[in-house]
Structure 1
Amino acid sequence: MTTGANDTGHPERPLAQDARRLSVAPMMDWTDRHCRVFHRQMTRRAMLYTEMVTAPAIVHGPKPRLLDYSQVEHPVALQLGGSDPRELAEATRIANAWGYDEINLNCGCPSDRVQSGCFGAVLMERPELVADCVRAMRGETDAPVTVKCRIGVDEQDPEAVLPAFIETLAGAGVRHVIIHARKAWLQGLSPKENREIPPLDHDLVVRMKEQFPELLICINGGITSLAQARVLLDRGLDGVMIGRAAYHDPASTLIGADALWGEDFAPDAIAVVDAMRPYIAEHLAQGGRLHQITRHMLGLFTGKPGARGWRRVLSENASRNGAGLDVIDRALAELQASAAA
């Protein structure tokens, strides 16, 4: 089920250059390996991102626990956090053995924790340091090194700061930038507020693509549907990254997404549950807990009759000792009974 330097060596990377058309954002505490396997049942083509993993954690911590993943997740990108070029280079060298399709540097997270470590969105104030970081990372991997950033922070003028930041990245060899189309306010707003309060400026991101046509420019922020994604792609952007909507209402945002590549893969939600069963069974057989996977599946039937019963049965029972696939059967029975009423 896993891949890693300790068991499979360096797996061959699949062709993933088109995966940028749609991706699921890296989200702390959400986009873990189980969530990504779940999302992969709904789209074969979208790029999936890990939660942010700090470079020091990889260098000094339990590498298989941090880096292992299932082969079915491809194409999958690893997001790193850090600001020390040597440490990021070492983390990238280590992670390269796991065969991720992309290594992404976080220059957009506004939390107090990343500010105190001088990485995340605060790095937008230090573009030359970011350039040093990505140069060092690129020297340790054959995967693309990309950057995810904001349009600016605090009192910065995005119209001036963002193009200069992108130009600096391009000079360091970066060819793919994902832009969260909001400022980050490092003082005065919580991370949650930073995802909602600063106004969106999708037009600015579109102008960045026009100004840097040779680069891959993708957009993130406030995108909640495939219809919105199509509009933004039609405006010339290379890709769209969906965040919270893909987690809270995955069926609406991911089932049918492969049509963006001209493919008709679109299983219904019940088929997605069935596809997860072997993975869940293996996880349980290895000593894992049911809720570690099903917590990511609570929103699968959002907006459908019986969705509340599905969530209730899983929430109340999946964390109990010995919980198994029978809990999923009961949740589906509750869903179907409500739908038939």
Structure 2
Amino acid sequence: MKKETNYPSNRFSIAPMLDWTDRHCRHFHRVMSKETLLYTEMVTTGAILYGKGDYLQKGDAEHPVCLQLGGFATADLAQSAIAGKERGYDEINLNVGCPSDRVQNGRFGACLMAEGDLVGDAVKAMQDATDLPISVKTRIGIDDLDSYEFLCDFIDKVHNKGCDTFIVHARKAWLSGLSPKQNRDVPPLDYDRVYQLKKDFPHLTIAINGGIKTLDECETHLEHLDGVMLGREIYSNPYLLSTVDQRLFNSQEKVLTRFEVLEEMYPYIEQQLKDGSYLNHIGRHMLGLFQGLPGARAWRRHLSENGHIPGAGIETMQKAASFVTED
């Protein structure tokens, strides 16, 4: 049974990206879009249950935000989902799409597509443990298991255990022979297969991911599907987020200029610096803010060269921005 959310779940979201979508990145993205569903990096159940660090850090301003889990043991996933609920996350997502060797060696990620029953059991365990919505992010296939029938069988097995929301990367994954980076580019995109999935499972929430670069493309996909997820394009060109609420959620709120986005970030940055962060911990996520404008390269260079220096603060960012001329 679908668990209700108080936000437009998965209509537009930003993909979980290892080493990138941390709490600073999410805060920056939230300044530009109030409606976008944000994701954590994939966090393994082992890190949550047995790690020494705090892998569930997030800010109060990030909502709605989804915790993506990596793992296969149903009990560990259930306990991790409970931890996510306790820390205030709005949704739990299970990664069944990452093809890296490290992930495969841990028996999670894309290799789990071959174990639809296990994924279904994991979903049920998490749903039994918490009242949060549970979603699954997957590929359209793995290795030679790439027929449409295989994909439908996987979706059917997982749905029968209670999952109603799937985010589908419209490429298959090669578990050997390709690096994670190559798996994002080399296997051909097949958007039509994801469209067909929605036609055959109209009662499910189906969002699409993979190779999408513009809001025009998002609007086209939303004619066929329930949601769109963007990843690296948002990271290289984050200001694309500034009109998402107006174009995809019918918001009447004012669109912030790039310099207004920067101003909105200053209080957060100052607090984080007081708490022990370095400027580059936050600034690295903001390097693309002025992409395409005169002075953008100087902005990136000054911030990159000076943001790591102990004591670097708002004035460093202001100096970097002084090189930019806004249209």
| Global fold match (TM > 0.5) | yes
Q: Distance in 2 between matches of 1:257 and 1:57?
A: 33
Q: Normalising by structure 1, what TM-score?
A: 0.92
| 1:101-250 equivalences in 2 (<5 Å) | 101-235=90-224, 237-250=225-238
Name the structure 2 match of 1:303.
292
Q: Distance in 1 between matches of 2:47 and 2:81?
A: 12
Any conservation in 2 of the 1:67–1:95 contact (CA below 8 Å)? yes
Q: Which amino acid aligns with 1:165?
A: F
Any conservation in 2 of the 1:40–1:73 contact (CA below 8 Å)? yes
Q: Distance in 2 between matches of 1:62 and 1:139?
A: 27
Q: Normalising by structure 2, what TM-score?
A: 0.96
Q: Distance in 1 between matches of 2:72 and 2:289?
A: 37
Q: Which runs of 5+ in 1 are unaligned?
A: 1-12
SS at match of 1:294: helix
Give, in angstroms, the shift of residue 157 of structure 1: 2.6
Give, in angstroms, the shift of residue 218 of structure 1: 0.3
Counterpart pick for 1:38 among 20, 28, 34: 28
Give, in angstroms, the shift of residue 93 of structure 1: 1.6
Any conservation in 2 of the 1:14–1:75 contact (CA below 8 Å)? no
Name the structure 2 match of 1:8.
none
Query: Cα deviations across residues 285-334 of structure 1 (Å, max 9, x unaligned)?
Result: 11111100000000111111111011001000000011000111101111
Any conservation in 2 of the 1:290–1:324 contact (CA below 8 Å)? yes
Q: Distance in 2 between matches of 1:181 and 1:14?
A: 25
Counterpart pick for 2:262 among 273, 294, 300: 273
Name the structure 2 match of 1:257.
244
SS at match of 2:17: coil
Identity of aligned residues (%): 49
SS at match of 1:234: coil
Q: Distance in 2 between matches of 1:258 and 1:204?
A: 28
Q: Which amino acid aligns with 2:228?
A: V
Q: Distance in 1 between matches of 2:42 and 2:26?
A: 14
Any conservation in 1 of the 2:213–2:233 contact (CA below 8 Å)? yes
SS at match of 1:295: helix
Name the structure 2 match of 1:99.
88
Q: Which amino acid aligns with 1:149?
A: T
Q: Distance in 1 between matches of 2:43 and 2:55?
A: 8
| 1:42-53 equivalences in 2 (<5 Å) | 42-53=32-43
Any conservation in 2 of the 1:107–1:119 contact (CA below 8 Å)? yes
| 1:15 corresponds to 2:2 | no
Q: Distance in 2 between matches of 1:205 and 1:247?
A: 24
Name which of structure 1's ranges 75-84 and 299-308 shifts more when overlaid on structure 2: 299-308
Name the structure 2 match of 1:74.
63
| 1:287 corresponds to 2:276 | yes
Q: Which amino acid aligns with 1:44?
A: K
Q: Distance in 1 between matches of 2:242 and 2:20?
A: 19
Name the structure 1 match of 2:73.
84
Give, in angstroms, the shift of residue 158 of structure 1: 3.1
Q: Distance in 1 between matches of 2:167 and 2:181?
A: 20
User: Residues 124 and 99 from structure 1, CA distance in 2 versus in 1: closer, same or farther, beyond 3 angstroms?
Assistant: same
Give, in angstroms, the shift of residue 15 of structure 1: 1.5
Q: Distance in 1 between matches of 2:147 and 2:37?
A: 27
Give, in angstroms, the shift of residue 14 of structure 1: 7.5
Q: Distance in 2 between matches of 1:264 and 1:292?
A: 32
Any conservation in 1 of the 2:120–2:161 contact (CA below 8 Å)? yes
Q: Distance in 1 between matches of 2:52 and 2:213?
A: 35
Query: Cα deviations across residues 191-220 of structure 1 (Å, max 9, x unaligned)?
Result: 000000000001100111111111100000
Q: Which amino acid aligns with 2:306?
A: N
Any conservation in 1 of the 2:146–2:172 contact (CA below 8 Å)? no
Q: Distance in 1 between matches of 2:75 and 2:94?
A: 14
Q: Distance in 2 between matches of 1:298 and 1:129?
A: 41
Q: Which amino acid aligns with 2:166?
A: V
Q: Which runs of 5+ in 2 are unaligned?
A: none
Any conservation in 2 of the 1:154–1:185 contact (CA below 8 Å)? yes
Any conservation in 2 of the 1:19–1:45 contact (CA below 8 Å)? no
Give, in angstroms, the shift of residue 62 of structure 1: 3.9
Root mean square deviation of aligned Cα: 1.3
Structure 1 runs (4+) greater than 4 angstroms displaced: none
Query: Cα deviations across residues 13-70 of structure 1 (Å, max 9, x unaligned)?
Result: 9822x1411000000001000000000011010100000000111011246x211211
